[in-house]
Amino acid sequence: MPDAIFAHPRLAEIYDTFDDDRSDLDAYVAIAAELTPGPAAAAVVDVGCGTGALAVRLAALGYRVTGVDPAAASLAVARTKPHAQTVTWIEGDATALPAPAAADLALMTGNVAQVFLTDEDWTGTLRAVAAALRPGGHFVFETRRPEARAWEEWALGSAPVVREVPGIGTVQEHRVSFSVDLPYVSFGGAYHFPDGEIVNSQSTLRFRTREEVQASLDECGFDVVDVRQAPDRMGKEYVFIARRRDHR
């Protein structure tokens, strides 16, 4: 079950306004150009596409894009965006992707790689992504480095966040809970709408080490070809570039 921040219709509607700086996606657009034969010839899968920010951006460049996400409310927002009509949208997790398939590239941005709390869910996702890729296709995703201890910065951010949302008005986000029980970090927020409604959302992320991630990729049929830093979070994240083996 996806978190309310993605699945609740009112929260999905305001998500882009609260997550407005998506400069992190520039690196993924560049990676798509680097790893594929070009927009006209490449098929790309956006795993955990959310409200479709990356999917529609790639579609605008001419890529054949499939966006998959279990949150129907987020997909409803994604479908309203320019170029959304050229994207294939699938409601579900990675196991809902058609397989065998011939995608050239699968991408997983934001905190998506960390929402899989059990080893079973994580390896199941990796195997499903591998099944959706052609042999030699690439899987690129980011995950926060545990040693960077990002939760210490998050714990300081307790002041309300206020945004003016077009068509809705002033919405306030209040931090209502925060806990660390490594490798898990949980946090919750309450969103106050102008009509008086308050909608809560609770999230938990799992922080895996580089060694854990590499071992799981190897187990699920991938070879790690590079591990980079996220340009927008230098020293805080790993960006894994993995290639699906010809024989799994």
* Domain total of the chain: 2
Residue 44 and residue 164 in one domain: no
What DSSP string runs through 147-164? GG-HHHHHHH--S-EEEE
Residue 89 has φ and ψ, to the nearest 5°, of -100, 130
Looking up residue 122, the CATH number of its domain turns out to be 3.40.50.150
Segment 76-128, tens digit of pLDDT:
999 999 999 999 999 999 999 987 778 999 999 989 999 999 999 999 999 99
Residue pLDDT, tens place only, 183-221: 999 999 999 999 999 999 999 999 999 999 999 999 999
Domain co-membership, 179 together with 218: no
Predicted TM-score (pTM) of this structure:
0.94
Q: What is the model's pLDDT at position 248? A: 52
Q: What is the DSSP annotation of the chain?
A: ---HHHHSHHHHHHHHHHT---TTHHHHHHHHHHHSS-GGG-EEEEET-TT-HHHHHHHHHT-EEEEEES-HHHHHHHTTSTTGGGSEEEES-GGGS-SS--EEEEEE-TTGGGS--SHHHHHHHHHHHHHHEEEEEEEEEEEE-GGG-HHHHHHH--S-EEEEETTTEEEEEEEEEEEEETTEEEEEEEEE-TTS-EEEEEEEEE---HHHHHHHHHHTTEEEEEEEE-TTSTTTEEEEEEEE-S--
Give the structural domain span for 187. Answer: 148-205
Do 55 and 111 belong together in one domain?
yes
33-71 residue pLDDT tens = 999 988 988 999 999 999 999 999 999 999 999 999 999
How far apart are alpha carbons 5 and 191 in whole angstroms?
10
- Residues 135, 158, single domain; the answer is no
187 and 74 housed in the same domain = no
Task: Return the number of other C-beta atoms located less than 10 Å from residue 41's C-beta.
Answer: 11
> Are 131 and 239 part of one and the same domain?
yes
